[in-house]
Structure 1
């Protein structure tokens, strides 16, 4: 099962953590430190765009192409971890 229009699940909050010098996902049980790629994808999971639009935004922002397979793989993992849900 894939998510067409991903949004961050309500139990998570994403924020820049100065002490970690990284974006993190905060939730009641703890924190997940995100790498730069994961953070850029999750920043765009705001429920306003579908996956093709999210990919297009990333490809424009980073002046590259061919990101869709990696983005979809990450989104599948994020869905399994319950970080994201359908908007």
Structure 2
């Protein structure tokens, strides 16, 4: 994923707090992915307007971590979601 790419959740995909399991999930039609704290933190920043670079910068400032490391980890996570059609990416 390039720094200027803009990730967004496609129509019908949303973050949801599952009260029964007491965890965050990413819901799509007839599919769901349970998120850990890191996955939730990354997806909470995805708003469809900010670029991947802006998102990783915000996360690095929020968690006082190197942006390069956050970008590397987040790119793999978001890439996997894109491959499974849980995420759209606009170049």
TM-score, scaled relative to structure 1: 0.86
Report the equivalent of 1:46.
Answer: 47
Which runs of no fewer than 5 residues in structure 2 stay unpaired?
Answer: none
Partner in structure 2 of residue 72 of structure 1: 75
User: Normalising by structure 2, what TM-score?
Assistant: 0.83
Q: Structure 1: which 5+ residue stretches go unaligned?
A: none
Deviations 1:4-54 (A, max 9, x none): 100011121211112222111122213221111111111111112101100
Cα-Cα RMSD: 1.6
Runs of 4+ in 1 over 4 A off after TM superposition: none
